[in-house]
Structure 1
Amino acid sequence: MKILLIGATGTIGSAVVAALEDKGHEVVRAARNGPVMVDMTDPASIEAALTSVRDLDAVVCCAASGRLTPLASTSDEDFTAGLDGKLLGQVTLVRRALHLVRDGGSITLTGGVFDEPTPGGAFGALVNAGLEAFVEAAAIEMPRGLRLNAVSPGWVAETLEAMGEDGTRGTPASEVARTYLRAIEGTTQGQILLPR
Structure 2
Amino acid sequence: MRILVVGAAGDIGQVVCDELGQRHDLIRAGRSSGDVQVDLADAASVAAMYAKIGPPDAVISTTGDVHFAPVSQQTAQTFLDSLQQKVIGQVNLVLAGLDVVADGGSFTLTSGILDRVPIPMGSAAAMANGALGGFVRGAAGEMPRGLRINVVSPGLLEVSVPRYGAWFPGHVPVASDRVAQAFAFSVEGTATGQVITVD
Residue of structure 2 in register with 1:151 after alignment? 152
Residue of structure 1 in register with 2:176 after alignment? 173
Distance 1:17 1:149 in 2: 18
Residue of structure 2 in register with 1:195 after alignment? 198
* Alignment check: 8 A CA contact 2:5 2:29 kept: yes
Distance 2:148 2:91 in 1: 14
Where in structure 2 are the equivalents of 1:42-191 lying within 5 Å? 42-73=42-73, 75-114=75-114, 115-163=116-164, 165=166, 169-191=172-194
State which drifts further: 3-12 or 150-159: 150-159
Distance 1:186 1:89 in 2: 25
Please tell me the residue identity of whatever aligns with 2:152: V
State which drifts further: 100-109 or 32-41: 32-41
Distance 2:158 2:28 in 1: 23
Post-superposition shift, 1:122? 1.1
Distance 2:71 2:134 in 1: 23
SS of 1:127's equivalent in the other structure is helix
1:79-130 deviation digits (Å, cap 9, x = unpaired) = 4432112111111111111110011000000111334221111121111111
* Alignment check: 8 A CA contact 2:67 2:124 kept: no
What is the TM-score normalised by the length of structure 1? 0.92
Cα gap change, 1:80/1:28 in structure 2, threshold over 3 Å: closer, same or farther?
same
1:5-40 deviation digits (Å, cap 9, x = unpaired) = 000000000110110112x20000000112210112
Where in structure 2 are the equivalents of 1:10-29 lying within 5 Å? 10-22=10-22, 24-29=23-28
CA RMSD, 1 decimal: 1.9
SS of 1:93's equivalent in the other structure is helix
Aligned sequence identity (%): 38
- Unaligned 5+ runs, structure 2: none
Please tell me the residue identity of whatever aligns with 1:127: A
Count of aligned pairs:
195
Name segments (4+ residues, structure 1) moved above 4 Å: none
Cα gap change, 1:164/1:143 in structure 2, threshold over 3 Å: closer, same or farther?
closer
Distance 1:170 1:26 in 2: 29
- Unaligned 5+ runs, structure 1: none
1:47-98 deviation digits (Å, cap 9, x = unpaired) = 1112211231000000113242211116543444321121111111111111
Matched, 1:33 2:32: yes
Cα gap change, 1:145/1:74 in structure 2, threshold over 3 Å: closer, same or farther?
closer
